[in-house]
Amino acid sequence: MQRVINKPDGQFTDADLDHLVKSTFVERVEFHDAIDSTNQRAMDLARNSAIRGPLLILAESQTNGRGRGTNRWWAEPGALTFTLLLDTGIPQRHLPQASLTVGLAVCEAIEGILETTEMQIKWPNDVYCQQRKLSGILIELPTTNAHLLAIGIGININNSLERAPEDLQATAVALSDVAQHEFSLTNVLVKVLNQLEARLECIGRNDGELRARWRERCLLTNRTIQMDLGTRKVSGRCRGIDDDGALLIETDSGLEVCFAGSITHF
Ligand code: BTN
């Protein structure tokens, strides 16, 4: 375990960081009180060919949290923000499935904590609770160390959205807003990591059960949606997710099979 900066009143004690290593598949934790982005840190570390995972880069706050494309990840203290750097053995062609599988693991872990509330996946990598975004996932491939994967996850836990900018209040939610009480970040993180370990093992096994689980949680299925594919926009009725993790959109000119793109309306 490595504490990069030591702050006595932080949310993670040394005992918490030890507990994370003892109770999960993570071999090492690098903890930051504040950092620009845990994903950026993971990508920098991945340039070193000696790096082996699973390494957990955990931050109490980020000054430049990254999202997909040009998105930024906003979160006040109380959120979970971390990146797992690991060798998953997942071939590149299975990457669309990796996003969905990470989202599924987050859904399942949080459902285990909340017990009653249903969580959904907004393709390709957001987790929704009660129709609002609870978690964002950003998976990046280090170019210099191709066998590694950087899995960045942000989850709103005790950072009530009451204090967030107005546009975010309408679209995002924190676990403490749903449950009306706060949670131990360490306990939530242990549950998410354990579920991630279990689910990541299923990728590449042609696992029908895994696909069934993404499909039943797809927030967009049967909605009229708009997708920006970069070079063009498509709109139509979402027909779910195919076996490879692509989103299916029934448009006036036929079925679009989308492996990448941004949902602009749903
Ligand atoms: C998105 O909503 O587009 C994805 C957001 C991903 C945010 C997490 S927070 C931890 C990790 N570090 C980052 O800079 N981003 C991811």
Q: Quote the tokens at residue 229.
A: 């594919």
Write the burial class of residue 174 (CB in 10 Å: 0-12 exposed, 13-18 middle, 19+ buried). Answer: buried
> What SS3 class is residue 192?
helix
d(CA 11, CA 8): 9
Confidence (pTM): 0.93
Separation of CA 200 and ligand 1 centre (Å): 19
* pLDDT in the model for residue 6: 47
Torsions phi, psi for 249 (to 5 deg): -125, 125
* pLDDT in the model for residue 8: 47
In Å, how far from its chain's centre is CA 59?
15
Separation of CA 49 and ligand 1 centre (Å): 24
Closest ligand 1 atom to 133 CA: 2
Which amino acid residue places its CA nearest to atom 7 of ligand 1? 154
User: Which residues of the chain register pLDDT less than 50?
Assistant: 6, 8
Which amino acid residue places its CA nearest to atom 15 of ligand 1? 66
Hey, which bits of 112-204 come out as E strands? 119-122, 126-129, 132-140, 149-155
Instruction: Report how far apart, in Å, the C-alpha atoms of 264 and of each of 67, 132, 181, 248 are.
Output: 15, 15, 33, 15
The label of the residue with tokens 């995002």 reads: 172
Longest dimension (CA), the chain: 60
d(CA 127, CA 266): 15
Most informative mutation of 39, 155, 262 for ligand 1 (most atoms within 8 A of CB):
39
Separation of CA 178 and ligand 1 centre (Å): 21
In Å, how far from its chain's centre is CA 49?
25
Most informative mutation of 153, 159, 262 for ligand 1 (most atoms within 8 A of CB):
153
* pLDDT in the model for residue 14: 92
What lines the ligand 1 site, CB under 6 Å? 37-39, 62, 65-68, 71, 73, 81-83, 126, 136-138, 152-154
Residues 247-256: tens digit of each pLDDT: 999 999 999 9
Separation of CA 255 and ligand 1 centre (Å): 31
Closest ligand 1 atom to 59 CA: 10
Residues 151-160: tens digit of each pLDDT: 999 999 999 9
The label of the residue with tokens 């779910």 reads: 240
